[in-house]
Amino acid sequence: MFKKTSTAAAVAAATSLLLITGGCSATNAGKTEAAKPAPAAAAPAAAAAAPKAKSVDYTAMSPKALAEYLIFESGSYELDQPTQEGTTGRARLTQDEIQKACSLMKGEEVSDKAREKVMALAAASIKYPEGGIKLGDWKKGRELAWSGFGYRTAHNPDDHSSREAGGNCYNCHQLATDRTGGDIGPSLTGYGKNRGSSPDMLKYTYEVIYNPHVYFACTNMPRMGATGVLNQQQIADIMAYLFDPASPVNK
Amino acid sequence: MFKKALRALPIALAVAATAGPSMAEAPEDVLDALIKKTNNSPYLTQSPQNIMMMPDNPAWLVAEAGEILFKTPRGPKNASLEKCDFGKGPGVLEGAHAELPRYFADTGKVMDLDTRLVHCMKTLQGFTNDDPAIKKKHGSDSDIMKLQTYIGSKSSGVPWNPPMNHPLEKAMRDAGEVMFYRRSGTMDFSCATCHTQDGKRIRASVLPNVYVPEEWTKAISWPAHRTSHEHVRSSQHRVLECLWQMRYPNIKNGSDASIALISFWTDAARGQPAVVPDLKR
């Protein structure tokens, strides 16, 4: 029902969810900030039918519809907050196809059909370096793998002009043992030493970093290449950190 | 031993007009029982230092300041907050925080501790959004945090029991659940990415699991003094911090989306005792 944009949510809200409740106290939550009509969203008819006294009945919405309403229409988020990539908070909150397919509730599993779709979308997203996959500078890769800086906004936006965004790898992985990593993902200690650095292995690793859904549909690992957080040089540096025999990961 | 001082205070002031005998249990005792019950959950036991410091939690000083603020006539209307209804009747604080968020007929909204407190400061005391008393939402030196810490401490040891009788309470909780599992942002994170497995870590921080209520109760036990911030923090502040890590935009304090998330997370700890004020990393 809710497609790409919040506009769709707004239309849905404006057409089917706005009720005139006549001041019934049980259903007037959100009355003050209700349906600031986004220009594109407010169909003239709906606007005319529900002028001042309109009020949104949260209890008449499905949990999913209400969640979308709260995110995009209730004035809860700073949707116009600028992002480092030049978009706004609204874009950050808007789901793409993979995010939608992978928002699984408790006990829910990704269907075979959805899995195939996610994997195909992931495969289509991957761009390879022109001269083939190469390893960069492991020392730079070490810092990139460690850094969790970048793209944070909310109350304390990261200033990318002061520092480049990092890869966050240590948030979820143990890599070299001289620093403490998390364990949302598997340990990558000894990665190159254990797996070798065949072209297939390099390609696999590049693809996992670029868009891990190509192998692990609906994984918790972010799509560092596909989202543009890491460029190809940075991926090459991080891969050197994983594969270079001189890297602490392989000591 | 600020805690002892705090407990002596009501007697000293002789103002126990509305509150009955305190049913609040010392947070360190509540935590101790949870640790035993979970067989030493790695999340609950991750900081032995914090556990040791609990009886001398700096938050008690903040609560003490909050009690004085609560009982002192203030604002344009020169009224105290002693008539504020946190859901269990005017002036009843014992166990009130453990039953928030809840629906309030006088506003037609589901409100959490933060928003209800602000509501009373406006209606009873006459403060406006521009008054520093209301405007400053964060930090141990803010009125809001002093008051929340005092009020919250009256629910220590009380099982979380946010009411679900009103359809709006249920609607907000259910929407909060959807939001908890909804992925978006630069890193594709949802709350579930980090909070649905046992004993997992982000770097060195052990993550609480929403499916283990005995763990989750400590996770949602705010106000808590955060040693890394040297400030007492609120539920609203924790929402903000996780959203920041998730690369989401700013969320407004007390907004409906924040309350939906808090409604869901409180429901997930239902039946387990609150640990307030807590001490966190």
CA-angle at A151, arms to A186 and A250, nearest 5°:
30
Average pLDDT for chain A: 85
Token pair of A149 as six digits: 């800086």
Mean pLDDT to the nearest integer, A122-150 = 97
- pLDDT number for residue B93: 98
Listed as ranges, residues in chain B with pLDDT below 50 are 1-21
pLDDT tops 60 at residue A33: no
The pLDDT, as a whole number, for residue B22 is: 58
Chain B: residue whose CA lies nearest to A99: B183
Longest CA–CA span in chain B (Å) reads 55
CATH superfamily of A112-250: Cytochrome c-like domain (1.10.760.10)
Residue A93 corresponds to which tokens in the numbers above? 């909150």
Extract the runs of DSSP E, i.e. beta strands, from chain A: 18-19, 55-56
Check CB contact under 8 Å for B167 and A104.
no
Which stretches within B128-228 are classed as H helix?
132-135, 143-153, 167-181, 191-195, 213-219
**pLDDT above 70 for A49:** no
From the number of C-beta atoms within 10 Å of its C-beta (0-12, 13-18, 19+), residue B26 rates as: middle
Rg of chain A on CA atoms, in Å:
23
Closest chain A residue by Cα to residue B105: A25
Give percent above pLDDT 70 in chain A. Answer: 78
Q: Where are the domains of chain A?
A: 112-250
Above pLDDT 70, what percent of chain B? 92
Confidence at residue A55, expressed as pLDDT on a 0 to 100 scale: 79
Q: How far is B264 from chain A (nearest CA, A)?
A: 12
For range A219-247, the mean pLDDT: 98
Compute the average pLDDT of residues A184-208.
Answer: 98
Q: Considering the candidates B84, B120, B194, B242, report the single residue annotated as catalytic.
A: B242
Cross-chain Cβ contact A106/B258 below 8 Å: no
B36 touches chain A (CB under 8 A): no
Pick the CATH number of B27-272 from 3.90.650.10, 1.10.3720.10, 1.20.120.530, 1.10.760.10: 1.10.760.10
Question: What is the distance between the alpha carbons of residues A186 and B10, in angstroms, rounded to a whole number?
Answer: 53
- With contact defined as beta carbons under 8 Å apart, do B275 and B27 qualify? yes
Which of the four pLDDT bands, split at 50, 70 and 90, describes residue A48?
Answer: very low
* Whether pLDDT at A16 is above 90: no
Scan for tokens 């254990």, then name that residue: A194
Residue B167 at interface with chain A, using a CB cutoff of 8 Å: yes
Q: Any CB–CB contact under 8 A between B164 and chain A?
A: no
Q: Average the pLDDT over A202-222 and give the result.
A: 98
Q: Is A43 left (phi over 0), alpha (psi -120 to 50) or beta?
A: beta
Hey, of B46, B104, B182, B237, which one would you mutate to test binding to chain A, going by the most A CBs within 10 A of its CB? B182
pLDDT at A34: 39
Interface of B with A in 85-114 (CB under 8 A): 105, 108-110
- Tell me, yes or no, if B242 is annotated catalytic: yes
Give the ipTM: 0.91
- Residues 6+ positions from A77 with CB-CB distance below 8 Å: A71, A89, A93, B248, B249, B250, B251, B252, B255, B257
Measure Cα distances from A146 to A57, B203, B269 in Å: 46, 10, 34
Confidence of residue A245 (pLDDT cuts 50, 70, 90): very high
User: pLDDT tens for residues A52-104?
Assistant: 445 799 999 999 999 999 999 999 999 999 999 999 999 999 999 999 999 99
Min CA distance, A106 vs chain B (Å)?
8
Chain A partners within 8 Å of B188 (Cβ): 98-99, 102, 222-223
